[in-house]
Amino acid sequence: MDRMDERLLRQDEPVRVLIVDDSDDDAFLVRAELGRRGVRIDYRRVDCELDMAAALASDSWDVILADHDMPGFDSLAALEVLKRSGQDVPFIIHSGQISDRQAVSAMYEGVDDFIAKGDYERLVPVIERELRGVSARRAVRTADNRIRELVNFDGLSALPNHHLFCSKVTDWLGDCRQRARAPVGAVFVVDVDRFMRINASFGYEVGSAILRQVGERLAQGLAPEVTLARLGGDKFGVFLPGVGDPAQIEVTARWILTAFEQPFLKDKVELFLTASIGIAMVPRDGDSVYTLLMNAETAVAQTKRKGGKGLRFFDRAMNTASVERLALEADLRHALVRNELRLFYQPLVRATDGAVVGAEALVRWQHPQQGLLTPDRFIPLADETGLITEVGSQVLFEACRQGKAWQDAGHAAFRVSVNVSAVQFGQPRLLETVSEALNASGFPPACLTLEITESSLMSDVESAAGMLRALKNMGVQVAVDDFGTGYSSLSYLKRLPIDVIKIDKSFVRDVSHDEEDAAIVRAIIVLARSLHLATVAEGVETREQEVMLRDERCDSFQGFRYGRPVPPESFPFLLQGVAD
């Protein structure tokens, strides 16, 4: 409950009401009648567009009461003044000069309610309701802004983090394409050499202090148009836009190296550090931030192999894995024909009693020469080559078949979750595939959850909403996977027909002892509850994590604490505590 609710219910402070009316007597009567009913107000009366705009600009208001028919000014004109101000203030028509049809039409335009003049018994609860409504909206916006801050900025250095760095570079590349301008620039990965010595010798607290100093020193010396971020650990990212000359790029890189020449101080102890820098150029070395970062990482690894304390531009000859990738692509095509894909299942447990209520299906590849391959080895390749559609289809059919088998074995309420890639989600064929898998297996649609990453949903919200509605009409549940890592705007969540939010394991990992991660998780759970969505915490490994998440009323858990992904023949022992 925020300050406005408290003011209305306890009357510690008067409710501030902007009255749009051409009668002083009517305005005074409103104050008197509300006061008789226990609602104390401060008000200001205006009766023209100019005065109302000035009142909105100079003061804050809890509610607006507007007469409908005034000389040269009416309630709809007043509503337009409010809209232009951009403020979120409940707008109530309080008039005896408006028909029911006009009142209904006005509410379609954005009026919150209509109260006949003199009906003060109804006016009081309507004001109370609207104040609560605006309070809830402001609470969501506050949570939205707080999570945006926590997700986009590194808590240790206060610099942009990996996510915001990628967003800024991606936006810049997109802007260049929109303007039909050839993008030129460079992405640096700056890796502090042998930084683990600091942590091992002086402890992590000293290490964190030194990293803050590194960030501050680099930020002070780089030009304003340069983006500096802490990518994680002892790695920093630098984006230099608009510079295509390698010699100029090298000047900036060498300045960064010289920035490490002066010692860093901690408790009067001088600590000397060096750095290795890998550089990827735009567009020569990539046209997406992820490709550029990957190639800069490859270059910095080469620098460190040579002893560090230097810089290196990416060279495509470094990427010796390209031939292996081509061979792996050919093998993957054969794997689909030979049914070499295997599904492993990780249990999903209910927070209240630890009962296994479902499983997430996770694909593996039983490669004939390389053995069992995890998804990170072949799913990105499947995405790039278009094979992901067939991979996803096989996974979905097998997961539904296995889920039905477990249900037939006596676990009637058992659920199965299946990941859907961004490429799959963008194809209408997905609906047909889901329908065929359900029909072929006899698995109940209500027991199938499709997990879709937040970034996939936010890339095109309108298209995503249409696809999600179609899936919901089929009866399946939808979960937002890796929530928080692809953050765009929480305001979109209420527009998307989803059922579950899966809190990314990167926030869960340190939730029991990192207050920033705890704040993110707490805010996500509260927000999900307010939107009537279930929450699943991924990556739960310790009792401390479990206790904290249960105390915050997270609904379900998933992670190594409850079981690693296992093949279906090894899963039944986990079903001993299954909830039917």
- CATH assignment of the domain containing 424: 3.20.20.450
Are 471 and 361 within one domain? yes
pLDDT of residue 344: 96
Report residue 580's pLDDT band, with 50, 70 and 90 as the boundaries.
very low
Burial 452-483 (b: 16+ CB within 10 A, else e): bbbebbbeeeeebbebbeebbeeebbbbbbbb
pLDDT of residue 570: 87
Cα gap 61→522, rounded to integer Å: 31
pLDDT in tens, 505-560: 888 998 888 888 899 899 889 988 888 899 999 999 999 999 999 999 999 999 99
- pLDDT over 90 at 245, yes or no: yes
**Do 237 and 293 touch, CB atoms closer than 8 A?**
yes
Are 131 and 31 within one domain? yes
Are 506 and 366 within one domain? yes
- pLDDT over 50 at 303, yes or no: yes
Are 330 and 468 within one domain? yes
Are 304 and 364 within one domain? no
Q: Is residue 21 part of a domain?
A: yes
pLDDT of residue 95: 86
Contacts of 158 (CB under 8 A, 6+ apart): 215
pLDDT of residue 408: 92
Are 81 and 110 within one domain? yes
Structure tokens at 571: 């899963």
DSSP string, 451-469: EEEHHHHHHTHHHHHHHHH
Q: Which domain holds residue 546?
A: 323-577
Q: Is residue 156 part of a domain?
A: no
The domain spanning residue 250 has which CATH number? 3.30.70.270
Give the residue, 190 or 305, on which the prediction is more confident. Answer: 190
Contacts of 45 (CB under 8 A, 6+ apart): 19, 20, 21, 24, 27
Nearest CA to 311 among 238, 252, 248, 253? 253
pLDDT in tens, 402-456: 999 999 988 888 999 999 988 888 888 899 999 999 999 999 999 999 999 877 7
Instruction: Give the residue-averaged pLDDT of 90-95.
Output: 90
Q: Is residue 78 part of a domain?
A: yes
Q: Is residue 155 part of a domain?
A: no
Give the E-state strand segments of 201-340 in sequence order: 227-232, 235-241, 264-266, 269-271, 275-282, 310-313
- pLDDT over 50 at 8, yes or no: no
Q: Is residue 315 part of a domain?
A: yes
Are 278 and 341 within one domain? no
**DSSP-H helix ranges across 285-320:** 289-305
pLDDT of residue 250: 95
Q: With pLDDT > 70 as the criterion, what percentage of the chain qualifies?
A: 93
Which of 284, 299, 319 corresponds to the end of one domain?
A: 319
Least confident of 273-282, 347-356, 380-389, 531-540: 380-389
User: What amino acid occupies position 332?
Assistant: L
- pLDDT over 60 at 321, yes or no: no
User: How would you classify the pairing of strands 269-271 and 264-266?
Assistant: antiparallel
Are 264 and 340 within one domain? no
- pLDDT over 50 at 266, yes or no: yes
Instruction: Give the residue-averaged pLDDT of 248-262.
Output: 95
Q: Is residue 157 part of a domain?
A: no
pLDDT of residue 11: 52
pLDDT of residue 132: 86
- Look at residue 393 and give its three-state secondary structure: helix
Number of domains, the chain: 3
User: How would you classify the pairing of strands 69-70 and 73-74?
Assistant: antiparallel
pLDDT in tens, 174-226: 999 888 888 999 999 999 998 887 877 788 888 899 999 999 999 999 999 99
Instruction: Give the residue-averaged pLDDT of 265-281.
Output: 89
